[in-house]
Amino acid sequence: MSKPTVIAVSNQKGGVGKTTTALNLGVGLASEGKKVLLVDMDPQASLTISLGWQRPDDLQTTVATLMSKVMNGQGINPGEGILHHPEGVDLVPSSIELSGMEVSLVNAMSREKILKQYLENVKKDYDFVILDCMPSLGMLTVNALSAANQVLVPVQANYLSAKGLEQLLDTVNKVKQQINPRLKIEGILLTMVDSRTNFTKDISQLIRDTYGGKIKVFKTDIPRSIRAAETTVEGKSIFAHDPHGKVAEAYKDLTKEVLNHAEKRIKRQSPQL
C-alpha cells in the first residue's frame, strides 16, 4: 500500500473553519472509500466534541496521553485510544490535558517530532490522516507540521489578514528547512464565503498575487451557512446533517480536489513500471 497522505489543517487565526474543514473533509474522504484518521490537536477539543464526544475530559485516552507515552518511551497498543465514528472516520481525541503538553514538550528530546513518532506506527492503517491544529503556532502546531506532508489553510475570505498568513508561511518554511523537507502547502481554502461575489474573487486573486502564484487557492470555496454551524452540536458531519445543502456540496468538491492531488502525488512517487 502507498504511504498515507498526512494533512495539517492550520491557521493561527481563530474561528476560520479549521475544525469544520478537518471533520467534513475527513468524512468526505471516508465516503469515497478511503480510510481516514482524524487527530484533534487542539486542547479546546472542538473536533472531538463536534464528532459527538461531548465530554472529552472524561475520556481515558487522548492524544495527550499517547504523546506522553511516546515521550516516556512507553509502548502503545494497536488501536489504543482511537475512537470510531459512525460515519466511518476514526478519531484520536483531545481534551484540556493537551494544554499541559505545550509545556512538557519544551524539555523533551526530539520535541518537534513526538506526534510524528506516535503516527509512525498508526498511519499505516490509513489512506489519509488529518490533523486539526489549534489557533496558534506553538509546539503543538509545529508537531503537526513536522508530521504532515501537506498543509491546508482555511482563510475566512472577509477577514483576510495577509500578515497572519505570512507568519504561518514563515513557520511552514522553517519546519520545512529544519525538520520536514517534504512539507508542502496543499492550498488555501476560502471559508464562510457569503456568496461568490467579485469580492471573493478579488481575495483569491490577491492571495495568488501576494504569494507569487506559488500558493494554490482551492477552486472550491466554502459558503457560509447556518447549517454548517448547527452540525457542531449534533456530532455529525454536514453530509449527515444537510446532505443536499450548499456546504455539503462544497465539501464534496473539496474532497475531490484533495483526492485528485493525492493521486497525482502518489503517481509521481511510485516507480515507473
Q: Is residue 13 close enough to count as binding Mg ion by CB under 5 A?
A: no
Q: How far is the CB of 180 from Mg ion (least distance, A)?
A: 22
Query: Is there a contact between 154 and 9 (Cβ–Cβ < 8 Å)?
Result: yes
CB-closest chain residue to Mg ion: 19
Task: From 29-37, 85-93, 211-219, 226-234, give the range in contact with ligand ATP by CB under 6 A.
Answer: 226-234
CA R_g for the chain: 18
CA count, 13 A, side-chain hemisphere, 79: 2
CA angle 233, 239, 152 (to 5 degrees): 85
Identified binder of Mg ion from the candidate list 7, 17, 18, 151, rule CB under 5 A: 18
Q: Is residue 20 close enough to count as binding ligand ATP by CB under 6 A?
A: yes
Question: DSSP code of 113?
Answer: G
As to burial, measured by CB atoms within 10 angstroms (0-12 exposed, 13-18 middle, 19+ buried), residue 40 is buried
Q: Measured from the CB atom, is 83 or 192 closer to ligand ATP? A: 192
Identified binder of ligand ATP from the candidate list 41, 203, 228, 248, rule CB under 6 A: 228
95, interface contact from Mg ion, ligand ATP, none, CB < 5-8 Å by kind = none
Q: Is residue 162 close enough to count as binding ligand ATP by CB under 6 A?
A: no
Q: Measured from the CB atom, is 46 or 150 closer to ligand ATP? A: 46
* DSSP conformation letters of 200-260: HHHHHHHHHHHTTT-S-B-S--PBP-HHHHHHHHHTS-HHHH-TTSHHHHHHHHHHHHHHH
Residues within window 189-208 making contact with ligand ATP, judged by CB under 6 A: 191-192
Residues in the chain, overall count = 273
Binding characters for Mg ion, 226-265, by CB under 5 A (x = yes): ----------------------------------------
Closest by CA position to 22, among listed 266, 227, 222: 222
- Interface residue list for ligand ATP (CB under 6 A): 14-20, 42, 46, 135, 191-192, 222, 224-225, 228-229, 232, 247
